Amino acid sequence: MKNFILVSIYLLATKLSVAQNAASLYKTGDSLFKIKDYKNAAVVYSAGIREEGKTATMNRYWVLASRWTLAGETDSAFQSLNEVAVSDKTNRVLARSIENDLDLTPLKNDKRWKPLLLKIQQRAEANGYVQEEFVYGRKDGMGLTLVCIKPRPTGSSGQAKIKANGKAIISLQSGNWFSSYNGIEINTTTTEQYLKKGYTVFTVMHGSQPRYAIPDAVSDIKRAVRYIRYHAAKFNIDPDHIGITGISSGGHLTLLVATADDKINTTAADPVDRVSSRVQAAAVLFPPTDLLNWGGAGFNFVNAKQILTANRIWGAIEFREYNEKLNLYEEVTDTTARSKIGKEISPVNLVTSDDPPVFILHGDADPVVPLQQSQSIIAKFTEAAVPNRFVIKKGGKHNPFDMNPEWQEFADWFDKYLK
């Protein structure tokens, strides 16, 4: 009876598919999965993939294969994995994940498994971009790193040769003001729109909360911009054609760099620090911009310790100042002093007429970063006559893949302003 009711609900949802987006279908599929109704979970998940069409990631097909397997539908599981095996979106991380997925264990005794896994692995290698890691700076005895990802120099797997255009996009590896090497290969998917147009992409990691707060991360990213510019000849890029992009906290840090005063220390001991950290264009998804007016006038984000601790992001604004006498860093606890720092790391307060062009994309159903955050800074950019584009994604939540197809227009934005 339970299955009949669930299938009936799904059939009704299918009839009303014009009102449902892929995200809601995936959510329904996840709910069915949790109650171990694997077959219906797979059916609904399939509908979500059809809704997304060509924009569906290969991770979706992997999840679908897992659910078909658990439902005992082996042929359907292999059919889903075949989509992964022929896709130019398949990457090395996904191939390893499929190989190690315990939910797919029943498939491993099938004679089709080994040749298909090999095909997926070969496809992942063929799709891979040339990547090289560099240390762009050092602090506290540790190296700060970025990964340079270059367009494919030659065609592979039937793909056309891509010629480098001599321009750079910095993609910030940041979520909740936390940065990690994990996911660099996955993030090739999120930066592929730039790679396919010939941009050299620099995925930058910064000092992360809870050890390092936002001001530290901003300092790191500016250093990365300087490093890339200083070594432009080595990277075969034009030092005056550098764009920057980021998602959520990465968007916030992007805007802080884009709106910063271009103060150059011409007497710095390190020659890297004697060049500019200015960027020429920016494009971001759902960025925090005003930490003193979160969601509206008056809610002070930086002094909401209890809320932010519960949400595991207090470390990002646990500001510290150096006490020279005691030779230690002390936490800034005075709320007035904290608000001053909060104002300084709110890009809405830093907008000036010489800022680079900015494209912001934000969903009107975002439950994490209020739409007001983007609306406020766009008003400032418009007032300052800074070229900008603002797209409000209807129904978009705090998920970059909700932002398609508009998200795929970021590369066009950089094409326009990195001429």
Strands 388-393 and 358-363: parallel
pLDDT digits (tens, 9 = 90+) for 277-318: 999 999 999 999 999 999 988 899 999 999 999 989 999 999
Contact predicate 207/140, CB 8 Å: no
pLDDT digits (tens, 9 = 90+) for 136-184: 999 999 999 999 998 876 544 455 678 899 999 999 999 999 998 766 6
Q: How far apart are CA 345 and CA 343, in angstroms?
A: 5
> Confidence class of residue 4 from pLDDT cuts 50, 70 and 90?
very low
Contact 28, 40 (CB under 8 A): no
| pLDDT per residue as tens digits for the range 49-93 | 998 888 788 889 999 999 999 999 999 999 999 999 999 888 887
User: Nearest CA to 411 among 176, 234, 88, 169?
Assistant: 169
Residue 304 CB contacts under 8 Å (≥ 6 apart), including other chains:
294
Cite the beta strand spans of 286-411 per DSSP E. 320-323, 328-331, 358-363, 388-393
DSSP state of 159: P
Predicted pLDDT at 387: 98
Domains in the chain (CATH in brackets) are: 2-127 (1.25.40), 130-417 (3.40.50.1820)
Q: In the block, which residue shows the tokens 């800034």?
A: 332
Percentages (nearest 5) of helix, strand, coil residues in the chain: 50, 15, 35
| Confidence check: pLDDT of 224 > 50 | yes
Listed residue (59, 53, 48) closest to 20, CA to CA: 48
User: Phi-psi category of 279—alpha, beta or left, where left has phi over 0 and alpha has psi -120 to 50?
Assistant: beta
Q: Supply 322's token pair.
A: 């150096």
What is the tens place of the pLDDT at every residue in 100-120? 999 999 999 999 999 999 999
